[in-house]
Structure 1
């Protein structure tokens, strides 16, 4: 078996990584550990409407399409 070829050329890889960063920045699932509220925000450092900053954040692109 010979060496495997890369899936993307350098420019395609750069664009793919940029797209992931944008998705990560603009679609963040948030869960308040204090009151259990859930919402989608555009930032990882968020505060719940109940005042808690104990908020779990997960990038939405990590969830499979349904």
Structure 2
């Protein structure tokens, strides 16, 4: 299987991925569909109730305002 064509060099792609990781640090809104708990985390983790049915949204995607 070949890699999809990218307009970024391998170095630019790595830098872009690192910037997304940094933007997500302590910045992922998590919502449990089972118990309705909400929290902010750095990774996509299961809920404290044990459910893995969790919605994840990067907070930086929300507009300021």
Provide the TM-score with structure 1 as the length reference: 0.63
Query: Which 5+ residue runs of structure 2 have no aligned equivalent?
Result: 1-11
Aligned to 1:22: 22
SS in 1 for 2:57: strand
Q: Which has the larger radius of gyration?
A: 1
* Map of 1:38 onto structure 2: 38
TM-score (norm 2): 0.64
Aligned length: 51
Alpha-carbon distance in structure 1 between the residues aligned to 2:54 and 2:41: 12
Structure 1 unaligned runs (5+)? 1-13
RMSD: 2.0
Large movers: runs of 4+ above 3 Å:
16-21
User: d(CA) in 1 for partners of 2:21 and 2:39?
Assistant: 20
Between the aligned partners of 2:49 and 2:21, the Cα distance in structure 1 is 29
Corresponding position of 1:60: 59
